[in-house]
A and B are shown apart, each in its own frame.
Chain A
């Protein structure tokens, strides 16, 4: 695929020549978005399968804690940086808050030690009671340069296993998932379940079979796994690797060993998913931005051209533009259709989510009470607490996922309104004859300007953007939130457990009553805190969406204004100027056409991406 940055640059050049600094700024933002478009690859699996070692071997540095005993306690994000950097993130003690976690910069060499979890401790706490919630590392590695971000997650089923729901909750935010299992045995039931969830949440999933250096029979395990996956109806590729050999190869600079480690295939998979992801972004974000800019340019070029070639058209052109301006202004108003949809939708969603959350927690509570009534809660209290935590976390994860899906649907509807409105708003400057409505949904492959209206172009361009990039940016934060919450809720329950344990001498009935009260209190707290978080988050989303569309409406107005100005400027020109400027406009229009063509090819999937999918 061509580098879109180069196309953006040429487009910006044209804008500068036309003195459209507003458009130049927009293009700069597009470049920034493109460059920051990272690809999150989640590394998940049961604990002690070699996830951390896999990440280490990929980046060739011991950033993740690897130990025979100690386990990774929090998600660790490894991404590109010019200089090695590392930080740990602390959440303030107490309730679930929407505050940003506190960042503490640490030495890269010390990072692994800081986030490893010895023994059965569930959370790492700072002196002031803050909890460690995540860690980040930046490394100057070629592999990461394209925006590849690896996320090492705490193992499932290990110490602090309430984390598993958190892992599940962040699955949708991943662009690719590596499910890690070691070659010592075939896939277990829970592992197959993880794969199923990963596949449901994310298009690029691979099963990575680790420790092939240690287990001579890994090929047999691989076959067994393939059979299991086939039986379960799951389709994904399986890559066999040895982190040990990869690290050894890196030390001894042994290419054969590196090939034997199986890592070249894994890197290939990652690169392919990076490319595929880039493809998506190019189609959505960059193409949209470029098309919008080119449409704006085209519009002003056209109005100027029309007036220059026959100045008597001026009043007509200006009238058309004035009409367009009125429509654009409509969009800015509170009463605009899209605003109504957004406001009503968020209000509905709030109510639905609250109900959904309560309903799910109610089910957990009923089950908990059944368990308490059936036996002596004192006996297996800690197991019960673990179960309660897991169920609560899982219920929350479901609600958050549901929230995300619903919000996405809402945003799509808002986007549709906006596209309809803005399509009408842009001046329908016809170069040839009118086109039918059907052209609006014509694929971008059709290049002839004579056949596609500007409005149609804009719509198609926007669809990608508003349905995609924007939602992605806003909504992943909605999902990612669940990462922190279940853990803090867990801490709350543990406190309850401690108070409970002290009361050993009590009679069974009293114990049961007390357990029920504890559970009820805890779940009330969960509902209270979570619904606040959900409401805050939705409000935040709503605000972001509103601001975004308001800004777009503003852009539209400015573009129309510029078109009016250039049309009026054209009317004042004398004969000689007219000829020069007409020539210049012709050149610029050719450039625009050429750029449009290039923008279209940006969207076509490359061979590599097709192979990956």
Chain B
């Protein structure tokens, strides 16, 4: 939807970011370094949204990546695992390429052990490697390129630095469009990293380009059956924490391991889990008292669920997953597929993917355009020409004129407490109108998706009038007026879309 708004507004001026980049390519035709940079930006505009997964070490980034991709691809381990920034993008043929800092690239053989890729640097020193790029045929990757990063607060500071560098380049366009920040609790270093990301990468608008995920959410509640409920409460509270609000769009709880494991549930796993569920309560409880017991104790009644298989289940689903499955299977008639689906649903992955596709995905156009324009301005500044000033001016004008970007920026400013003079009700409404919670008209207006067109029109007219008043009120301060004008403009586009006015 926002793309349409984008076209409407930018189209009237007859220029798009694409056009500007084309002109820039023409301008720098004789400068290989600059034209190479411009070419990168143009490719970038064509690509799907780049989403980076970031967080402290062992936050479950690789596990979540596998869950999102829907395949056990990224290597995961109990110890610190990912040490190099790794890109996963769509491609027809599987391919692994190591990109070095000096600009050269080296293809590596694609090796998988029990499904997981064996990634190595091909003999290059870790410090020389800029990143590893994995191309993989996966439907999920057509919608977004996912970037796995080494953990922060890792014992090796160097690894931490690599991630910070990947997310917050000192110069140039931000490498990523959006960030999914994984945290287990809101640790001080989490707040610091989120802040660093906001400051350095996407500037003011990162609060709308970042989603926070309470990963390993099942562990927050100690793996109890109600763990995810508890995790949801925690997530909701974090989402209202001013430090988080300023930096992330939302906070979602996800049990990453369960989400990953539910994908790959086999019939034999199902049989074993049902067998466990059917044990007499006392036996079952004793078996489920600790992970150790579950993975080692021999139980005569269990034929399929041997200790070895149980240990495997534990590793793949986590203790919460096992407990949840055994509780679900005590109820009536679930088959293997239904169980897998239910486990996946309860893992919290669904809301995350839908947030990625709606909240971030719908804004992908705006986010990418903004990145491209920022990058272009950087190139223009670095390679000054006579015509460059004019181009820079137009890029700036395009950025200012592109209402989708304005919306992003206002939404972010709101998150950081802008227009504090306005009532909270109004500020909440403004956030919604600017498309923070989804770009569909009903979502912007805060109506049920089933609301009739008339009802939506009425709501939009009323809101439009309200915000015009705010904009015209002589007592409104400058910030409130700016916000109100943006809201009015969003509403105009919305009315146009609804076919009214």
Q: Are A189 and B237 also in contact (CB < 8 A) when A47-B185, A184-B219, A383-B195 are?
A: no
Q: Are A248 and B289 in contact (CB under 8 A)?
A: yes
- The stretch among B153-161, B339-347, B437-445 that forms the contact with chain A is B153-161
User: Which of B188, B230, B291 has the largest number of chain A CB atoms within 10 A?
Assistant: B188
**B243 located at the interface, meaning its Cβ lies under 8 Å from any Cβ of chain A in the complex:** yes
- The stretch among B3-11, B34-42, B311-319 that forms the contact with chain A is B311-319
**A287 located at the interface, meaning its Cβ lies under 8 Å from any Cβ of chain B in the complex:** no
**A175 located at the interface, meaning its Cβ lies under 8 Å from any Cβ of chain B in the complex:** no
Residues of B within 8 A of A197 (CB): none
Residues of B within 8 A of A217 (CB): 78, 315
Residues of B within 8 A of A350 (CB): none
Q: Are A216 and B243 also in contact (CB < 8 A) when A188-B153, A245-B290, A380-B199 are?
A: no
- The stretch among B292-300, B391-399, B403-411, B426-434 that forms the contact with chain A is B292-300
Chain A positions 382 through 401: 1 when the CB is less than 8 Å from some CB of chain B, otherwise 0: 11001000000000000000
Q: Are A228 and B237 also in contact (CB < 8 A) when A68-B222, A188-B56, A214-B219 are?
A: no
Shortest Cβ distance from B58 into A: residue: A185
Q: Are A213 and B185 in contact (CB under 8 A)?
A: no
Q: Are A379 and B199 also in contact (CB < 8 A) when A185-B58, A188-B155, A216-B294 are?
A: yes
User: Which of B191, B295, B315 has the largest number of chain A CB atoms within 10 A?
Assistant: B191
**B373 located at the interface, meaning its Cβ lies under 8 Å from any Cβ of chain A in the complex:** no
**B189 located at the interface, meaning its Cβ lies under 8 Å from any Cβ of chain A in the complex:** yes
Chain A positions 110 through 134: 1 when the CB is less than 8 Å from some CB of chain B, otherwise 0: 0000000011100000000000000
Within 8 A of B (CB), among A165-211: 184-190, 192, 211
Number of interface residues, chain B, beta carbon within 8 A: 46
Residues of B within 8 A of A244 (CB): 222, 290
Shortest Cβ distance from B189 into A: residue: A157
Within 8 A of B (CB), among A207-264: 211-218, 220-221, 224, 228, 242, 244-245, 248, 257, 260
**A277 located at the interface, meaning its Cβ lies under 8 Å from any Cβ of chain B in the complex:** no
**A358 located at the interface, meaning its Cβ lies under 8 Å from any Cβ of chain B in the complex:** no
CB < 8 Å neighbour of B154 from A118, A157, A189, A380: A189
**B233 located at the interface, meaning its Cβ lies under 8 Å from any Cβ of chain A in the complex:** yes
**B208 located at the interface, meaning its Cβ lies under 8 Å from any Cβ of chain A in the complex:** no
Q: Are A216 and B289 in contact (CB under 8 A)?
A: no
**A72 located at the interface, meaning its Cβ lies under 8 Å from any Cβ of chain B in the complex:** no
Complex-state Cα separation, A494 to B314, whole angstroms: 46
Complex-state Cα separation, A498 to B56, whole angstroms: 30
Within 8 A of A (CB), among B263-313: 289-295, 311
Q: Are B222 and A189 in contact (CB under 8 A)?
A: no
Residues of B within 8 A of A386 (CB): 188
CB distance from B249 to the nearest CB of A (A): 19
CB < 8 Å neighbour of A212 from B78, B153, B291: B291
Complex-state Cα separation, A245 to B295, whole angstroms: 16
Within 8 A of B (CB), among A414-429: none
Q: Are B157 and A383 in contact (CB under 8 A)?
A: no
**B129 located at the interface, meaning its Cβ lies under 8 Å from any Cβ of chain A in the complex:** no
**A278 located at the interface, meaning its Cβ lies under 8 Å from any Cβ of chain B in the complex:** no
Complex-state Cα separation, A192 to B219, whole angstroms: 23
**B473 located at the interface, meaning its Cβ lies under 8 Å from any Cβ of chain A in the complex:** no
Q: Are A228 and B155 in contact (CB under 8 A)?
A: yes
CB distance from B348 to the nearest CB of A (A): 15
Complex-state Cα separation, A211 to B295, whole angstroms: 15
Residues of B within 8 A of A242 (CB): 290
**A48 located at the interface, meaning its Cβ lies under 8 Å from any Cβ of chain B in the complex:** yes
User: Which of B155, B294, B295, B311 has the largest number of chain A CB atoms within 10 A?
Assistant: B155
CB < 8 Å neighbour of B157 from A158, A189, A218, A260: A189
**B173 located at the interface, meaning its Cβ lies under 8 Å from any Cβ of chain A in the complex:** no
Q: Are B191 and A383 in contact (CB under 8 A)?
A: yes
User: Which of A216, A221, A257, A380 has the largest number of chain B CB atoms within 10 A?
Assistant: A216
CB distance from B150 to the nearest CB of A (A): 13
CB distance from B191 to the nearest CB of A (A): 7
**A69 located at the interface, meaning its Cβ lies under 8 Å from any Cβ of chain B in the complex:** yes
**B221 located at the interface, meaning its Cβ lies under 8 Å from any Cβ of chain A in the complex:** yes
CB < 8 Å neighbour of A68 from B231, B242, B291: B231
Q: Are A189 and B155 in contact (CB under 8 A)?
A: yes
Within 8 A of A (CB), among B128-165: 153-155, 157
Residues of A within 8 A of B314 (CB): 216
CB distance from B56 to the nearest CB of A (A): 7
Q: Are B154 and A213 in contact (CB under 8 A)?
A: no
Q: Are B289 and A186 in contact (CB under 8 A)?
A: no
Complex-state Cα separation, A598 to B171, whole angstroms: 76
Residues of B within 8 A of A161 (CB): 188
Q: Are B289 and A68 in contact (CB under 8 A)?
A: no
Residues of B within 8 A of A136 (CB): none
Complex-state Cα separation, A119 to B290, whole angstroms: 30
Residues of B within 8 A of A289 (CB): none
Q: Are B222 and A214 in contact (CB under 8 A)?
A: yes
CB distance from B271 to the nearest CB of A (A): 20
CB distance from B426 to the nearest CB of A (A): 19
Not counting A192-B155, A213-B292, a sample of 14 additional A-B residue pairs whose C-beta atoms are within 8 angstroms of each other reads A47-B187, A185-B57, A186-B78, A186-B79, A188-B154, A189-B155, A211-B222, A213-B290, A214-B290, A215-B291, A216-B292, A217-B78, A245-B289, A257-B289
Could you pull out 21 A-B pairs where Cβ atoms are within 8 angstroms?
Answer: A68-B220, A68-B230, A69-B234, A69-B237, A120-B243, A159-B186, A185-B78, A186-B78, A189-B153, A189-B155, A211-B222, A213-B290, A213-B291, A213-B292, A216-B292, A216-B311, A216-B315, A248-B289, A260-B292, A379-B199, A382-B243
Q: What is A's interface to B at a CB cutoff of 8 Å?
A: 46-48, 68-69, 118-120, 157-159, 161, 184-190, 192, 211-218, 220-221, 224, 228, 242, 244-245, 248, 257, 260, 379-380, 382-383, 386
Top 9 closest A-B pairs, CB basis? A213-B290, A216-B291, A185-B58, A68-B230, A216-B314, A69-B234, A157-B188, A220-B78, A214-B223
Q: What is B's interface to A at a CB cutoff of 8 Å?
A: 56-58, 78-80, 153-155, 157, 184-189, 191-192, 195, 199, 216, 219-223, 227, 230-231, 233-234, 237, 241-243, 289-295, 311, 314-315, 319
